[in-house]
Chains A and B, each alone.
Chain A
């Protein structure tokens, strides 16, 4: 059933993106909060922020990759 593959791909991209967006939003908010309280820590926090952001957006990116594979190779 190729139609279900599209649904699967959409769920994969949509829910993955949703989760990561919330995660990165929280991270960014806390980064601003943290560096407003202690501006001298800002560069250090920024490194940790990028590390965290990289860890968070790995999952949706992987989801997008698999979804694209499903749409264009498995279904196509």
Chain B
């Protein structure tokens, strides 16, 4: 998107490209014509082609910074409120935080049946963090990319949960906790659960193992992809509606109305997906704590 007016698909692709930092392979011809020297080079990618040439040795700088920044915002806000909290009638942001904590606490009480002090704080973190990341979707989609362009940064994707690396990363975190508590609580029973259900006979061990392992791996995978898919689709539709503005003056009013309509619908999706991510985290950990 250098200077001239982009076509619609260029506009979309530009909005869906992360700011990537990574290692270009040896001999790769860059956008400006220069060739990468021996041993490769660690650089910021200019465009999707360079980003995909980096392959595994790449990191999405924007996703990382925005998600970590929102995590810090969450910690700072809740800590500040926790220090200020007192017995009287709460007001403003204190009220909001207390409601959130109480809501998460009640959900954990209803859904989690084991003994674990980690689950409620984990659920609160997951809920508020995912909610904050999703809320970035409501920021007008051209605002931050254009601001960063003025500062010389050409790619910027500000919704971390539209990046599968972030959502699948969180899901893998939950998966590791699931495995840890399964082994800790059930011990050898975990192996038994994997090999002896649903058919309780030694001859069925390979069949059982296959079915249970597939079921186990499907959990974090669907958890991460569900959040990613919802937010990605939402972002995609926001971008498409924004692209309508370029279709001429007559399209501006309908496009504006569509933008507002989709934003209102998305207001339902955003907390709902955060809630689902939290509940499923609790349910999976609860399953890990059930010893038969």
User: Number of contact residues on B: which range applies?
Assistant: 20 to 34
Q: Does B240 contact A (CB under 8 A)?
A: yes
- B46: interface (CB < 8 Å): no
Complex Cα distance, B151 from A65, in Å, reads 31
Interface stretch (choices B78-86, B132-140, B229-237): B229-237
Q: Which of A54, A66, A76 has the most CB of B within 10 A?
A: A54
Residues in A neighbouring B9, C-beta threshold 8 A: 72-73, 76
Residues 21-62 of chain A, each 1 if its beta carbon lies under 8 Å from chain B, else 0: 000000000000000000000000000001100110010011
Alpha-carbon distance between A55 and B222 when the two chains are bound, in angstroms: 10
Q: Contact check: which of B12, B229, B236, B237 meets A58 at CB < 8 Å?
A: B229
Q: State A49–B4 Cα separation when bound (angstroms).
A: 49
Q: Is B285 an interface residue (CB 8 A)?
A: no
Partner of B233, one of A51, A64, A73: A64
Q: Is B13 an interface residue (CB 8 A)?
A: yes
Q: Give B192 Cβ to nearest chain A Cβ, in Å.
A: 29
Interface residues of A, Cβ cutoff 8 Å to B: 50-51, 54-55, 58, 61-62, 64-66, 68-69, 72-73, 76
What residues of chain B have their CB less than 8 Å away from a CB belonging to chain A? 7-9, 12-13, 16, 225-226, 229-230, 232-234, 236-237, 240, 269, 272-273, 275-276, 279
How many residue pairs link A and B with beta carbons under 8 A? The number is 50
CA distance A62 to B229 in the complex (A): 5
User: B276 — nearest CB in chain A belongs to which residue?
Assistant: A54
- Determine if B233 and A61 form an interchain contact, defined as CB atoms under 8 angstroms apart: yes
Question: What would be 14 A-B contacts, judged by CB atoms less than 8 Å apart?
Answer: A50-B272, A51-B276, A54-B276, A55-B226, A58-B229, A61-B229, A64-B237, A65-B229, A68-B237, A68-B240, A72-B240, A73-B13, A76-B7, A76-B8
Complex Cα–Cα for A65 and B16 (A): 12
Per the bound structure, the CA–CA distance linking A51 and B281 in Å amounts to 13
Residue of A whose beta carbon sits closest to that of B225 = A62
Docked-complex contact B12 and A73, CB < 8 angstroms: yes
A24 to B13, CA, bound (A): 33
Smallest beta-carbon distance B230→chain A, Å: 5
List of B residues within 8 angstroms of A51 by Cβ: 275-276, 279
13 further contact pairs, Cβ within 8 A, besides A54-B272, A61-B269, A73-B13 = A51-B279, A54-B275, A55-B226, A58-B229, A61-B230, A61-B233, A62-B225, A62-B226, A62-B229, A62-B230, A65-B234, A68-B236, A68-B240
The one of B233, B240, B276 that contacts A62, using a Cβ cutoff of 8 Å:
B233
Residues on the A chain within 8 Å of B279, using CB: 51
In the bound complex, how far is the Cα of B240 from the Cα of A1, in angstroms? 23
